[in-house]
Every structure is written in C-alpha cells, then in structure tokens.
Structure 1
Amino acid sequence: MIKIYNRKTNSYDIEQVSGEKYLNWTYNTPIGMSLLQIFLKRKVFSSLYGKYCDTRSSSKKIVSFVKDFNINMNEYELNLNDFKSFNEFFIRKIKSQYRPISRDKNIFISPGDGRISIYESIDLNKIVQVKGFHYSMKELINDDTIASLYNNGTCIILRLCPTDYHRFHFVDDGVCEDTIKINGQYYSVNPIALNKISKLYCQNKREWSLFHTENFGEVLYLEVGATCVGSIIQTYSPNKKMLKGDEKGYFKFGGSTIILFLQKDKVAIDKDILEQTSLGFETKVLMGEKIGLKFKRE
C-alpha cells in the first residue's frame, strides 16, 4: 500500500498501482527476482512490449484502463475512439485549460504530473533514492563538471505512474542544450522496486540535458526510463529559446521518473512538500502547479 499526500485535502490517498500483483511478485519473490535479472530488466523485454503497445490490437486495452483507473478523458484533446493504439492513448495531449501556466517569473512549477519528493542541501555523494538507499550524482550523469554545479543544491524527484499524463514540460523561459543519453537497464521505478534495487536510477536508461533558465539558474533535467517504457522522446528544439510550460518531451508506455537538480539558493521549495518528503511521503502534483518560489535573500 502506497500512501500519497493530497495537498488539496491535506490528507493521504492510497495509490492505485497498475500491475501491483506483478510488481510484488517480481520484486518480492526469489523466482520473480531471478526472472527480473535474467530477462525483465533488459531492453529486449521493454522493447517488445513497447512495440506491442504501438499495434492496433493494443487499443483494446484502453477502455478498461480508463475505467479501472478513473481517468477523466474530458481533460484530453482526443476521445477514446480516436486512439489507434495503446501508446497513442498513453501519450495523449491535455487541453491547456486543465494545466494553466503562471507567467509570474517568481513561481517555480512542476514539470509534469506525478508524485513528488524534494531534497534540499544535497550531498552529491549521497543523494536519497529512498530511506536507506543512496546514489552519487557522478554515477547518475557521468559528468563531474556538471555535477559540481549542484553541491548543496536541491534534488526534485517526480515519479510518473502509467495512469498519469506522460508529457513533461519546461519550468521557466530559457535555452536547453542537447540531450545526453546513457544506456542502462529497465527496472520499475515504483516504490516497490526502489526499496529493493540499490542505485536504481543510476542503473536504468536515462537522458539528461542542461537548461539555462532566465529566473532559476542552471537546471539539470534528467528523464529515467523504466520497465515497458518503449522510448523517451525529446520534442524540444535544442539551443533555442523555450517558454515556461512548453513541452520538452514524453514517455511511451510505462511508469517513469523525471529528476531535476537546482543550484543552491535558487528556489525556495514549498514547505508542505519538504515536510511530507521528510516524513517519507510523496506529494501528488500536476504539471504547472506551483512547487516553489524564486529564492530571495533576507
């Protein structure tokens, strides 16, 4: 059972986990862990499933998926019958009025829908994955020079579930450099897996890019693939001016994670999110939602 903090009700919701029985069996049984290491964590498994999700026959899953997870399709641009495959449904675009973007240059927003944890004053050699599991930024991006920009900075982890809107966006106006791709495994990023696999983010396939923002310093974007994520698709134009809220890219089928690194004293994170993170709970947020303010020295 995964409890998620709801900012609107000031209470906790129980997350509906897609494939929960499969995840528990895979990560909590000897046979499941053996199969994971031999086959399930490897690219071939996720690629095959990703290709299936591109087929017309996979569209048969859409109606039951929407019903089982109570997805409000009124928020999206297309209707259920418009999708020719499950992946077309999975990367559905949302109507702009349901994810408004504040033009206030002092407001720092979430880059996507998901469950967020935020850590301040990070030690680059001991970044928190979950309680008891840590990793280093050097292992994560393989670039010591870039990593050094974020000593004592802030780490934002946004976990996307298969039920979420799976496009991610820019948090400010600015220019984003080219994407660096790092090959890796395809472990699940669900907390069930995060509590079992050490340095999971450093083992999975991932992509990162440096975003030169106009109001919040140098922001490092990192997208992490996961089991059944067919692809991480970058849709932005590198080295060209992007606006706050513009789309950066999207994930094909599967739960995934976005990690942002902020430099020290650039953003004052909302206290409720920091408090819930310290208690061990993720907070549910939507793309464009305020999660902090531009840091101001007293």
Structure 2
Amino acid sequence: MATQRQRLGGWLPEKEEQVAQFRKQFAAQARERAATAMTSSVIDEFASFIREDPVIRMNFARAIDEALAEGFELGYANIDECLQMLDAILTYAPPFSESSLIHCPVNAILDWPMVMPSGYALFRDPAFNRHMKRVLNVWSGYLSGPYSRVHLNTDAPNGWFSPEADSKIGLSQFLCDPEKPYWGFSSWNHFFTREFRPGARPVAQPANDKIIVSACEASPYNIKHDVRLKDEFWIKSQPYSLKEIFTAKETALAERFVGGSIYQAFLSAFYYHRWHAPVSGTVVKAYLVDGTYYSDAESEGEDPGGLNDSQGYISAVAARAVIVIQCDDPAIGEVGCVFIGMAEVSSCMIEALPGQRVRKGDELGYFQYGGSSMCLIFRPGVIDSFVVQPPFSKDESPVKVNAHLATAR
C-alpha cells in the first residue's frame, strides 16, 4: 500500500479511507441509476472505442487489476463498471462537505488505476484523452445548466451557502444576492466562477510597471530560474521544459524565455477561479493546448493526491491555455501566462485575445470546474525578486489575485 502523500488544494480528502468510501457509495448509486437510465451517448462511444482498440483495452483492464491487487477499494472491478460510474458523474453536482471533500469525483474514481504501471501509458494516449475530453465537456455542459444547482442552498451539510461552507469561501466578498433564488447563480459553473465584488482585490500599484501581480488567487508551489528550452520534465525534479509548455509549434516563442524564471501556483477548491493580467500591455498570443487530463509522472510514485505531486510535469502535458502579454515596460518584454487544467478542468476559457490591450489586473479568462494550476514565465534578467520564496508547504497561504507577486529590475 502506498504511503500517504500530500493532497493539495482541498480537492480530495487527506485520508484515503474517505476517498474509498466515496467510491464505494457512488458505485452503488451508479448501479441503481443504470437500472433505469439510458447510458449517455458519449459513454457509449467511449466504450466502443475501448472495445475496438486492443492496446487501450489491455492497459485499462490491467491498470484496474493492478490497483485491485495492491489492495485499493475502487468501487468497480472492471472497465464496464468504471464507465458506469463515469456515466453517473455526467449528472452529478458536487456537494459541500466538511467531513468528506470530494470536489474532483472523476479524479477520485480514477485515482489508483492512473498511477499503476499500465495506467501511465493509458492516461497519456492521445485518442484516450480525446474521449476523456468529450466526457468532461458533457459534464461541464450539465454543470453550466440550471439542473446543476441542487446544492446551491443554505442546507447543511451539503449546501454551498451553509454557514460551514461560508466559513471556507467568504461569500460576502463575491457578487451574489441571498434574496434571489440560488443567490442569483444560474448554474454550478456560474457559482464556481463567481466574481469578486468591486474593490475586494485591489491591484497593487497599478501605475508602476515594475510591480508584477498575481494572476490567480493561488498558493505558491514552485519557483525556478534559468529554465531550459528542452528538459526532462518527467524525472523526479520535474524541471520545466519551455518547448513542451508552449508547444513545438511555438518554439520561436519558447526560445525567447530560455534562461528566464517560472513561478507556479495551485488553486484550492474554495478559491476564486478567474485569471487576471499580471502586467499591463498587449496580448500577442492566446491559444488552447489539448493535452492529458489524468496523467501523472512515474517519478513521483503512487500519488493518491491525484496530480498534486506532478504539477511541474503537467505544465508540459496537460490541457492548458497560454496567453502571452507584451508588457508596456520594454525591460520586462513578454510575459507568458499558462493556465493549466488539472483533472476535471477540461474547459480553460480565454477572454482576452491577441491585439487586446489589458491593464494590470484586467480579467484574462477563467477555469470551469475542477482542479487547476498556473505558471507565470518571465524572460531572462527580468525578475529582481519574488515576494514569496521556496520551499513551499502544502498548507501555503494563497497569494491573492492582483497582489504584489514580484518586482522587475
């Protein structure tokens, strides 16, 4: 049995027993639902793909068997039972719970097969990930509709407006109206991407281009200097590899950041999930990168925290949005903003497109539901100092969005 690992951001409980209990209970609900409900077409097509590809079927079946042989309680014993649970997820709205925080239910279901020897290959396969993306997009569609508001109420223990939840979120900071149905939120995703009230997160020194601000409300994870164009991002130290982060098509862009600095931070389940400009300037690049959703780095071993210990690795392989801003201060030049979808986040929504003039603190886009991470990438010689300094712990307090993060030379 694997040793206990860190679970960052509150997306899954610290204790494996709680995650296993969720899987067991959810499997029972999925079996009951399957007795009367038709299977979603996206799951039917996923199942056909798996049946018709012998290598995919082999790796999926072996990953499940390997996890069961290790003694993990999955809630399912084969591919069909796993897909049955994924089908049930498509009409599932995550509840609040202080005792069992399962905010990434798909991650919880796949937690152990994805870190088995056969699972590493399976969850990197491009065709497999295309089907995972379709599944997650269908779920995102449900979470963007009115039927997903089942837990947007004040009822304890599951209500997101209950006193227990409010103590974690601080709802008074956000645009909402307790007098309206569902407090004015049209869907789960509308609640998840809730906006701060004006003035809740003031921009640090808006007229001073040397003051770089945090693009997200996120806890520091790592800072690296002298980053390389190509590096072995899959090894234990997970060095950053610029060519992979920006993609091979954007090699010329990546080359301009060689020798520079990267700041990476992770978002909690309870944090604000919109992105803001860390500098003032003009957007010169904005694009989405298809990638993996549940691929871990073998170098980290069995990681019950899902993707937590693989955040450097996923900057090179996961689905993500890349926005590059040409700063008004020519000494800073371009700043790369990489917003990384972890696990359930299949939707990185870009709002600021090339040619858009942005001021420091202006909104760039947002994550729809799920775990998430972000990197800010600076050209060589730009950063004089970061406000925060490693080593960082799993309980690191977030750097508030629009707060002073770094000072340029």
- TM-score, normalised by the number of residues in structure 1: 0.81
Q: 1:139 aligned to 2:254?
A: no
Q: Percent identity?
A: 20
Name stretches of at least 5 consecutive residues in structure 2 with no aligned partner. Answer: 20-104, 154-158, 297-302
1:135 CA displacement? 4.8
Q: 2:277 is matched with which residue?
A: 170
Q: 2:90 is matched with which residue?
A: none
Mapped contact 1:188–1:255 kept (Cα < 8 A): no
| Alpha-carbon distance in 2 for matches of 1:275, 1:106 | 22
Mapped contact 2:232–2:239 kept (Cα < 8 A): yes
Mapped contact 1:185–1:205 kept (Cα < 8 A): yes
Mapped contact 1:201–1:224 kept (Cα < 8 A): yes
- Among 236, 246, 250, the alignment partner of 2:366 is 250
| Alpha-carbon distance in 1 for matches of 2:115, 2:174 | 40
Q: Deviations over 1:152-188 (max 9, x none)?
A: 1101212223321111011121000242222122228
Kindly report which structure 2 residues correspond to 1:1-298, keeping only aligned pairs within 5 A, or say none: 2=6, 15-18=9-12, 21=19, 23=107, 26-28=110-112, 34=119, 37=123, 42-63=132-153, 64-65=159-160, 67-68=164-165, 70-79=168-177, 81-102=183-204, 103=206, 104-116=208-220, 117-126=222-231, 131-141=236-246, 142=248, 143-187=250-294, 192-195=306-309, 199-215=313-329, 216-270=332-386, 273-277=388-392, 284-295=398-409
Q: Deviations over 1:207-239 (max 9, x none)?
A: 223210023221012222232224211122431
Mapped contact 2:129–2:293 kept (Cα < 8 A): no
Amino acid at match of 1:276: P
| Alpha-carbon distance in 1 for matches of 2:359, 2:400 | 18
Distance 1:30 1:200, change over 3 A: closer
Distance 1:268 1:152, change over 3 A: same
| Alpha-carbon distance in 2 for matches of 1:42, 1:74 | 36
Mapped contact 1:188–1:226 kept (Cα < 8 A): no
Between the two proteins, the alignment pairs up a number of residues equal to 283
Secondary structure at the counterpart of residue 59 of structure 1: helix
Q: 2:25 is matched with which residue?
A: none
Distance 1:188 1:71, change over 3 A: farther
Mapped contact 1:18–1:163 kept (Cα < 8 A): no
| Alpha-carbon distance in 2 for matches of 1:184, 1:172 | 27
Secondary structure at the counterpart of residue 57 of structure 1: helix
- TM-score, normalised by the number of residues in structure 2: 0.61
Q: 2:43 is matched with which residue?
A: none
1:280 CA displacement? 8.3
| Alpha-carbon distance in 2 for matches of 1:165, 1:112 | 8
1:145 CA displacement? 1.1
Distance 1:30 1:275, change over 3 A: closer
Name stretches of at least 5 consecutive residues in structure 1 with no aligned partner. Answer: 5-14
Secondary structure at the counterpart of residue 342 of structure 2: coil
- Superposition CA RMSD, Å: 3.3
Secondary structure at the counterpart of residue 58 of structure 1: helix
Mapped contact 1:172–1:244 kept (Cα < 8 A): yes
| Alpha-carbon distance in 1 for matches of 2:279, 2:114 | 45
Mapped contact 2:217–2:267 kept (Cα < 8 A): yes
1:122 CA displacement? 1.9
| Alpha-carbon distance in 2 for matches of 1:121, 1:105 | 23
1:54 CA displacement? 1.3
Mapped contact 1:27–1:193 kept (Cα < 8 A): no
Q: Which has the higher contact order (CA 8 A, sep 6+)?
A: 1
Q: 2:33 is matched with which residue?
A: none
Amino acid at match of 1:120: H
- Relative to its length, the structure with more helix (as a share) is 2
Amino acid at match of 1:26: L
Mapped contact 2:280–2:359 kept (Cα < 8 A): yes
Amino acid at match of 2:144: D
